[in-house]
Every structure is written in structure tokens, then in C-alpha cells.
Amino acid sequence: MLLRLEIRNFALIDELDIELGEGLNILTGETGAGKSIIIDSINMLLGERFSKEFIRTGQEKAFLQAVFCVNNQKFQDIYEKYGIEPESDGTLLISREYSLSGRNVCRVNGRIVTVSMLKEIGERLIDVHGQYDNQSLLKEENHIELLDAFGGEEIQRLRNEFFQLYIKRKEIKKRLQELIGDEKYRERKIDLLKYQINEIKSAKLKTGEDEELHRQRVILSNSEKIADTIEDVYNILYIGDDIVNSVYDRIDEAIYRLGAISVFDPLYEQIKQNLEEIKYQMEDIRENIRYAKENIEYDPVALEQVEERLDLIYKLKKKYGNTIQDIIEYCKNSEIELDMLLKSEEYITELQKQLIDNEKALYDIGVKLNEKRSKAAALLESRICNELEELEMKNTKFKVNIEMISRNDDNETDSKESRLNTKEIKFNENGLDKVQFLISTNPGEPLKPLSKIASGGEMARIMLAIKSILAEVDKIPTLIFDEIDIGISGKASQRVGEKLSFISRNHQVICVTHQAQIACMADNHYLIEKVTRNNITTSKVTKLYGEKIVDEISRILGGDVITQHTRNLAIEMLNNARKFKSN
């Protein structure tokens, strides 16, 4: 939902801030007051082409900014795709600055984005219906989504089944491509796999071996220093020299002397016993030191062998994995792949059988989808034509065209047997169908795509009719209708207002109108006025309340001359609108 719009130095607007609410937001005002400029500014924020002519005369640059409230989960793919940090409260801030020099800076939540990125994001936020192009309903790829959403749970269930099979088909075809692809590539792949498997197996790797080799290398590299230290320690503890007896001998002497005084106090006996325990421990230590002395020697050959082994493991890690376990796993997977390639004929036959079964299942579900869509399309056509008739477009014909797409595979890896005999079909993730909304606005005219409708007012009413039917399933949160009241009055205007009010129960709606019947339905009413001060003309916006709303409805009804009868009519229309909205 669009919460706030800020406009600076844009066309007639010097500085304008609008806070918009939920439901139906109506913008009214005299012709030329700047209502369309506000819609222009929103289009620029949504990624439409910016021109220097939009910069206010005498200014260097124009600045636009909008604050939206969005569902972060629904925008997660956009956030991840473009590296945008979401706000915890669901706020989405979009700004765009354009200067006379042509410098164009677009930001989303503070991150600079391109215009194309801004356009993609904008298409998720707002649909503009009028003389503009930012309309999701004009994009044919959206028609099948809308029809399926209208069709209900059964179509969605079939679509999910079809999609899972479609993904499986892609996997099968990929594996077939790998197996049936270029024969030279296959032979090279076999040779490579054999070489890699042999290289890894000949190394006879053991898990944890590299850690033990690193320990051995440290010892062998420092063997001389270790040997000297062990010898010195042994001499200190057990040999001594001409001046000082060994530690062992001196502990023995201490035990002897403590024995002579141990009768005087139990403490001396305890110390004597502690020293005796140390003596026994030193005897064990002597055996360990002797063993260390005997097994420590400088062996350059052994060190070279350890270095060579570590170097081999390092090279294998660079090729096949970060650990020895990764290398072993790589070898196992390569053996499986090699076995598949060597037995490729068997695998190809099996995969082709799987492809036949898969395509048969896809076709069966696709036909069911086509049938369900055809029924949903007939109902949708009828309901939209009824809506258009109420909007004074009685001669308009609306059709949901569904056709199965001719097969045009992206490769020829599947065998002739895998092709369906019933029909040549191109499978896509949505089924077998191409869906297109067609319309004819005048008797005798052929049905044409929605995008070929020239009149902005006609387009807006057609979109309103479609949106009225699809209001609950349409995922675009904010809808803008501009010039929707061109060429209509009276009963048709009343119907347009009612439908806008109905749609606004599920969407935020912003509508520019000159019709009192439509303006009366507003949940939030804004008056756009053109003001001239010191020979400078600008636009301002005021949110209306109470009597001010009555005044504006009266102005729309009566023009410059407002009578009590006009005010009474305005009050009556507003009361009727409130009754309709409360139902």
C-alpha cells in the first residue's frame, strides 16, 4: 500500500506531500490543477521514462519519493535478487532524482538501483489504469495466472501436479542430453573420469592421514633440537655432573634425611611419602625418556618422504576437495558417473521410457487443465461482459482465448517414441495452454488483445470491469484509475463508483475523477488546486473532511454557482454512498 508520496520541483508542483490511506482515495479538482501530474510522478517512481520537461522551470532537478507498506515475505525474492535490506516493519522506501544534466539516481530502501530494477519492483506495487502502460493486465503472461486464480483450488491443484512433473521432465531431458550429446565429448569425459579415479585410488588415501603427516613433519624437521633437549633433560634428572648431583639422587637423599626426623612430627613423614611418590614417577619418566632418545634421530630421507606425501595430498585437494574425505567422495561419484557413461545405452533406454511415461502424464493433466480453464474462461467472459454492460459498454465483447501451443522443443534428445502420438505439444510450466484476453469495443470490430485498445477512458473502464471480477485473486496491492470517467455520466458513473468501492475492499485504490457519483464513494478525499503567488503557479493538495467534502461535491455538480439545492443533492449522494459502503 502507498502510504506517502513526496514531490519536489516536478512540473507545476513546487513541493507536495500526500499521505494516502486504505480503501478508496479520490483526487478531484479543476482541469489543469495538477491531478494528472501526481499520477505522472507515481509513474516516474515506478520506472517510467523521465524527461527533462518534468523538471520545474528554474530548478536544477526534480525529486520524487514514496513510502509503501509491503509484505516482506512476498518481496523476499526481490530483496535477495537485488541485495536490498528489508525493514522489519515492512516499509519500502523508493526515491528518484533527475537533474537537467540527465543524472538519474534511483534508490530502494537506500540502495541505488537501475531504472529497469525499479520498474520490476514497481510492477509488484501498483497498477496504473488510464493512458499509461504500467498495467499488469496488458501483459499476456499474467492472463493465465489470473484465469487460474479465478478458476479456484482444482486448477491450482492440477497446476501443482503438472509443475512437479514438468521439473522432473527437465531433469530427465538433461540427463539424456549428457548421455546422448556429442560423442567426442562423451569419450573425453570417460577418459577424464578414468584418469581422475586412477589418480585418487593410486594415492591410497586414508582419512586423517594428512594430520598425522603434519605431526611427523614437525618432529622430523626439529629432530636434532628434540634429541639435544631430551639428552639434556635426562642428564639433569638422572646423571648430574661433577658439581651437582642429579635431581633423582638429590630427591633420594632428601627422602633419607626426612626419614631421620619423621618420628618427630607426622608432617615430616607425609613430606617424605610425597617425595617417595615423586621418585617412583621419575622412574617411569626415565623409561619414557630413554624410549624417546632411542627413537629420535635426524632422518632426511624420512622427512623427504613425508614432504612428498603431503605435497601429493595438497595437489589432490586442489583438484577434488578440501579434505581427504571430500576427495574419497569425489572418487566414488566419479565411479558412478563413469559406470553410467560406460553403460549409457541401458540408461538411455531407461530414461527414454521414463520420458514417455512423464510426457503421457503431463499431457493427461494438461488436457484436464485445459478443460477446467475452458469452463472458468466461459464463466469469466460472461461475468466481465455483464460488468461492462453496467459500465455503459453494452456492445463490448470480451473473450478468454485458450489455445494449445505447438511443440517446439529446445533440443532433440528425446527419441521418436517419446513424442506423444496424440498431439504435438510444447510443454511449459503452466500446462499446455496459451491464454490471452481479447476484446472488441464496437460492433463489427474483430476481437483484439487488450494492449491494442486506444482510448484511455475505455481501457480504464475495461480494466475496472476485469478488476471487479478478479479483485480477490489479483495480487497487486494498489490500483490507480485515471480518466476512468471520460465519456460517461449518470448511471454509468454511479456504477463505476460502486465498483471502485468494491475493489477497494481488497486493494488500495487511487482514482482521479471529475464525476460526483464517483467522488462520493471516497474513503479519503483529496482536493488538488492550482495556486498562483508572485506570478509563480504551483499545485497544492488538501485532504477534505466534513463540510469541505460537501463543498467539493457541490462544486463538481454545479460548477462556480453552488445553490442550496446543489448542496442538498451533494449531501444526499454522500449519504447514499455511505449506505452502499456499509452493506
CA distance 481 to 456: 10
- pTM (2 decimals)? 0.60
CA distance 422 to 85: 50
Extract the C-alpha cell encoding 335.
Answer: 565411479
Does 490 map to a domain? Answer: yes
pLDDT of residue 406: 56
- Count CB atoms within 10 A of the CB of residue 371: 11
DSSP assignments along 47-62, one per residue: TPPP-GGGBPTT-SEE
CA distance 217 to 302: 9
Q: How far is CA 279 from CA 72, 249, 266, 350, in A?
A: 73, 9, 20, 77
Helix (H) or strand (E) holding 249: helix 247-261
pLDDT of residue 456: 59
The radius of gyration of the chain from alpha carbons, rounded to an integer in Å, stands at 41
Number of independent structural domains in the chain: 1
Alpha helices by DSSP H, listed for 321-411, are 324-342, 344-390
Extract the C-alpha cell encoding 418.
Answer: 517419446
pLDDT of residue 408: 45
Render each residue's pLDDT in the chain as its tens digit; 583 residues: 999 999 999 988 888 899 999 999 999 988 877 888 888 899 899 888 888 889 998 899 999 999 999 988 888 988 988 999 989 899 999 999 999 988 999 999 999 999 999 998 988 898 887 544 446 677 888 899 889 988 888 999 999 999 999 999 999 998 888 777 666 777 888 899 999 999 999 999 998 888 988 988 888 888 888 888 888 888 888 887 777 788 888 888 888 888 888 888 899 889 989 998 998 898 888 888 888 877 777 778 888 888 899 999 999 999 998 999 999 999 999 999 888 888 777 888 888 899 999 999 999 999 999 999 999 999 999 988 988 888 878 888 999 999 987 544 444 444 444 444 444 677 888 999 999 999 888 888 899 888 777 565 677 677 788 878 877 677 788 988 887 777 677 777 888 898 899 889 889 999 999 899 999 999 999 999 888 877 777 888 899 999 999 999 999 988 878 889 999 999 999 999 999 988 8
pLDDT of residue 415: 43
Does 376 map to a domain? Answer: no
Residue 485: which residues within 8 A CB-CB, separation 6 or more? Answer: 457, 493, 496, 513, 514, 515, 518
Q: Which amino acid, one-letter code, is at 443?
A: P
CA distance 31 to 10: 18
Alpha helices by DSSP H, listed for 208-323, are 209-221, 223-234, 247-261, 266-295, 300-320
Residue 477: which residues within 8 A CB-CB, separation 6 or more? Answer: 1, 70, 125, 126, 507, 508
Nearest CA to 25 out of 481, 473, 576 is that of 481
Spell 149-172 as b/e; 16+ CB within 10 A means b: bbbeeebeebbebbeebbeebeeb
- Count CB atoms within 10 A of the CB of residue 126: 24
Q: Which amino acid, one-letter code, is at 575?
A: N
Does 46 map to a domain? Answer: yes
Phi, psi for 94 (deg, rounded to 5): -115, 130
Does 556 map to a domain? Answer: no
Q: Which amino acid, one-letter code, is at 169?
A: R
Burial class (CB in 10 A: 0-12, 13-18, 19+), 499: buried
In total, the chain counts a number of residues equal to 583
Q: How far is CA 236 from CA 149, 225, 231, 244, in A?
A: 90, 17, 9, 9
CA distance 534 to 505: 44
Does 87 map to a domain? Answer: yes
CA distance 40 to 34: 10
pLDDT of residue 457: 61
Angle between helices 247-261 and 266-295 (to 10 degrees): 160
Does 566 map to a domain? Answer: no
CA distance 498 to 494: 6
Q: Where are the beta strands (DSSP E) in 445-487?
A: 448-449, 478-481
User: Which residue is associated with the grid cell 661433577?
Assistant: 242
> For 237, which DSSP code?
I
Q: Give residue 122's domain range.
A: 2-132+477-542
CB 180 within 8 A of CB 348: yes
CA dihedral 449, 450, 456, 458 (to 10 degrees): 100
Q: What is the CATH number of the domain that holds 60?
A: 3.40.50.300
Does 112 map to a domain? Answer: yes
CB 461 within 8 A of CB 393: yes
Does 526 map to a domain? Answer: yes
